[in-house]
Chain A
Amino acid sequence: MHPTKLETLGIGKQFANGGTDEVLTVLTDISLRIRPSEFVSIVGASGCGKTTFLRILDGLIPPSSGSVLIDGREVDRPDHKRGFVFQKDSLWPWRTTMGNVMFGLQIQRRPRGEARETARKLIELVGLKGFESHYPHQLSGGMRQRVNLARAIAVNPEVLLMDEPFAALDAQTREVMQLELLRIWGAEKKTVVFVTHQIDEAVFLSDRVIVFAARPGRVKEIVPIDLPRPRPFSIKRTEQFVRHVDRIWGLLEEEVFKSSGVERPVH
């Protein structure tokens, strides 16, 4: 049996439906085991609860049922064992690159000099050397997401939770960021849970792709990606890669049509 880094036991989540007695079930019975240093992606139709699930993993919101275990210990609130990379540009605009990356260390009451040194190294790791004293509004979208990543890694989390971090970037920048992420992941050996709606992104990055079904969100299938690493961009044109993408697209297709209310076309 493989060692387990992150485990979820029957996670379910219900939300009260604004003012009415109706209860909306967003997630139901999600049980997963993720190995140390594994890169796992979650794909699913929009509204399938991927982001909610990730927020539960971080401890930002509690599950309605079930539990999240990291190294066998239950998660009940955010802490430095997990780093969260947000989809939306959530950098503090009044803090410089350095200030943003140092935030988590400041919360941990690390000595200032040490925090500064750690932040400087990480800013270099994400390729932003020379931009330490820039404010977020002076950086491009891609650079801001690099800061976002450096900020999450700064507290040296064992698990990185990434919520569609490249969704807002243009296609070229996104591809560059995917390579960068793999490079950083290779250097830092983090366990990564990566939420995306881009199937090729999920296949390119991951060891396993978890396909979510919608309404309520649940695991539909787990697809192992046996592509060799390191993966160059050219891998995206290999037959193997395309086969994985097609397979996941097939799994998702029903979900997408189901959730958009459109009848599935007959092939």
Chain B
Amino acid sequence: MANKAFSLTTQAGASIAPGIELTGAAAKFWRAYRPTIRGTYTFILILVVWEIVGRYVLTSRLMFAPVSAVAEEFVKLWASGGLQQDMLVSFTALFFGFLIAAAVGITMGSFIAVSDAASEHFDPIINALYATPLIALAPILILVFGIGPASKVAIVCLLAVFPILINTKAGIRSADESLIEAARSFGANGFEIFRLVLIPSALPFIVAGFRLGIGKGLIAVFIGELFGAREGLGYLILLSSQSFNIPGMFVGVIILAGTGVLLVALFEFLEKKIAPWRQFELKA
């Protein structure tokens, strides 16, 4: 009997923690948004722990700052207008670098995927470069392009281009042979097959490449602003840490992290949206 009663309550309500039972609308809400609610719990918990540690454990403001101090610093920087300027500078570099990386990556990736000669010529060097920590080349690019936006765009592009290129190539190569043949049976020429079959079937892979590329692009912006820059989020982080303004450093880090989370989520959403027919393998 006890068992039966238990199963009835789990059907009607929801147990969110031992001893806490929800019923009716609250239970429904819990079931629909459980992952979000739990994720938010953890997030809030981290903020609380951060605040406690900042106030009572690592009390030296030269080493650490509670989250409330970070929020205060955010408001201050925002009010001064400097934060918006830093964000604008960093995001502009990210945007243009990524745009070029996408154009180059998709073009080169397609070319290598459809041409055996191109593939044999370029595969070894691409694989070598993909495995290299290219960020090490950042100082050279800064020497070549100067400390302005051009060098940051170049670094973003260099880092983001390989995941996009490699995923484009993999996507086109993995296009189903029968889908290509079906198009051929209608007399489609090479370009039509490329445009109407290869690109659409590679699209989820290309977007997955964007998702991987954006993470690298954010690292690139940060690194690009560590050398000689006079503005941008990377510069904000560097300057703040050098002047022991720990809250200011966290403001920069959190904005970069938040941007990454948002953009990755956006691309993940797009991946699912454009290819609802498949749960494709994520290529890391």
Whether A177 is near chain B, meaning CB under 8 Å from some CB there, is: no
Residue contact A107 to B186, C-beta cutoff 8 Å: yes
- Not counting A91-B182, A104-B187, a sample of 19 additional A-B residue pairs whose C-beta atoms are within 8 angstroms of each other reads A58-B185, A60-B181, A77-B187, A78-B184, A80-B186, A84-B182, A86-B178, A86-B185, A89-B178, A90-B181, A92-B179, A92-B183, A92-B197, A94-B200, A94-B203, A103-B196, A106-B196, A108-B187, A137-B277
Residue contact B181 to A107, C-beta cutoff 8 Å: no
Give chain A nearest CB distance to B126 CB in angstroms: 27
Residue contact A103 to B183, C-beta cutoff 8 Å: yes
Whether A155 is near chain B, meaning CB under 8 Å from some CB there, is: yes
Q: How far is the CA of A89 from the CA of B179 in the complex (A)?
A: 9
Give chain A nearest CB distance to B86 CB in angstroms: 41
Whether B90 is near chain A, meaning CB under 8 Å from some CB there, is: no
Residue contact B182 to A137, C-beta cutoff 8 Å: no
Whether A79 is near chain B, meaning CB under 8 Å from some CB there, is: yes
Q: How far is the CA of A83 from the CA of B187 in the complex (A)?
A: 10
Whether B192 is near chain A, meaning CB under 8 Å from some CB there, is: yes
Q: How far is the CA of A79 from the CA of B196 in the complex (A)?
A: 17
| Residues in A whose Cβ lies below 8 Å from that of B179 | 90, 92
Considering the complex, give the chain A residue whose CB is closest to the CB of B192. A107
The binding surface of chain B is classed by DSSP as helix
Whether A93 is near chain B, meaning CB under 8 Å from some CB there, is: yes
Give chain A nearest CB distance to B180 CB in angstroms: 9
Considering the complex, give the chain B residue whose CB is closest to the CB of A88. B178
- Given A94-B200, A94-B201, A107-B188: A86 and B277 within 8 A (CB)? no
Whether B124 is near chain A, meaning CB under 8 Å from some CB there, is: no
Residue contact A135 to B178, C-beta cutoff 8 Å: no
**Would you mind naming 18 contact pairs between A and B with Cβ atoms under 8 Å apart?**
A58-B185, A60-B185, A78-B187, A79-B187, A80-B186, A84-B182, A86-B185, A90-B176, A90-B181, A91-B182, A92-B179, A92-B197, A93-B275, A94-B274, A94-B277, A107-B183, A107-B186, A137-B276
Whether A44 is near chain B, meaning CB under 8 Å from some CB there, is: no
| Residues in A whose Cβ lies below 8 Å from that of B188 | 107
Give chain A nearest CB distance to B168 CB in angstroms: 16
Residue contact A135 to B200, C-beta cutoff 8 Å: no
Q: How far is the CA of A83 from the CA of B201 in the complex (A)?
A: 23
Whether B4 is near chain A, meaning CB under 8 Å from some CB there, is: no
Q: How far is the CA of A58 from the CA of B185 in the complex (A)?
A: 7
Residue contact B201 to A80, C-beta cutoff 8 Å: no
The interface on chain B, measured as residues whose beta carbon lies within 8 A of the other chain's beta carbons, has a size of: 22
Q: How far is the CA of A223 from the CA of B197 in the complex (A)?
A: 40
Q: How far is the CA of A137 from the CA of B182 in the complex (A)?
A: 17
Whether A217 is near chain B, meaning CB under 8 Å from some CB there, is: no
Mark interface residues in A94-121 (1 if CB within 8 Å of B CB, else 0). Answer: 1000000001101110000000000000
Residues of chain B touching chain A, judged by Cβ–Cβ distance below 8 Å, are: 176, 178-179, 181-188, 192, 196-197, 200-201, 203, 274-278
Residue contact A80 to B181, C-beta cutoff 8 Å: no
Residue contact A92 to B187, C-beta cutoff 8 Å: no
| Residues in A whose Cβ lies below 8 Å from that of B277 | 93-94, 135-137
The binding surface of chain A is classed by DSSP as loop
Residue contact A107 to B187, C-beta cutoff 8 Å: yes
- Given A92-B179, A135-B276, A137-B277: A84 and B200 within 8 A (CB)? no
| Residues in A whose Cβ lies below 8 Å from that of B187 | 77-80, 104, 107-108
Q: How far is the CA of A155 from the CA of B187 in the complex (A)?
A: 11
Give chain B nearest CB distance to A36 CB in angstroms: 21
Residue contact B186 to A103, C-beta cutoff 8 Å: yes
Residue contact B186 to A155, C-beta cutoff 8 Å: yes
Smallest CB-CB A-B distances: 8 pairs: A84-B185, A137-B277, A104-B186, A90-B178, A93-B277, A90-B182, A94-B200, A88-B178
Which residue in B176, B184, B278 is a CB contact (below 8 Å) of A60? B184
Considering the complex, give the chain A residue whose CB is closest to the CB of B274. A94
| Residues in A whose Cβ lies below 8 Å from that of B186 | 78, 80, 103-104, 107, 155
Scoring A89, A94, A103, A135 by chain B CB atoms within 10 A of each residue's CB, the highest score goes to: A94
| Residues in A whose Cβ lies below 8 Å from that of B181 | 60, 86, 90
Q: How far is the CA of A137 from the CA of B184 in the complex (A)?
A: 22
Considering the complex, give the chain A residue whose CB is closest to the CB of B181. A60
Scoring B179, B181, B184, B186 by chain A CB atoms within 10 A of each residue's CB, the highest score goes to: B186
Scoring A82, A91, A92 by chain B CB atoms within 10 A of each residue's CB, the highest score goes to: A92
Considering the complex, give the chain B residue whose CB is closest to the CB of A89. B178
Q: How far is the CA of A107 from the CA of B185 in the complex (A)?
A: 11
Give chain B nearest CB distance to A19 CB in angstroms: 17
| Residues in A whose Cβ lies below 8 Å from that of B201 | 94
Give chain A nearest CB distance to B188 CB in angstroms: 5
Q: How far is the CA of A103 from the CA of B274 in the complex (A)?
A: 19
Q: How far is the CA of A108 from the CA of B186 in the complex (A)?
A: 9
Q: How far is the CA of A93 from the CA of B178 in the complex (A)?
A: 12
| Residues in B whose Cβ lies below 8 Å from that of A60 | 181, 184-185
Q: How far is the CA of A161 from the CA of B276 in the complex (A)?
A: 31
Q: How far is the CA of A60 from the CA of B277 in the complex (A)?
A: 28
| Residues in B whose Cβ lies below 8 Å from that of A84 | 182, 185
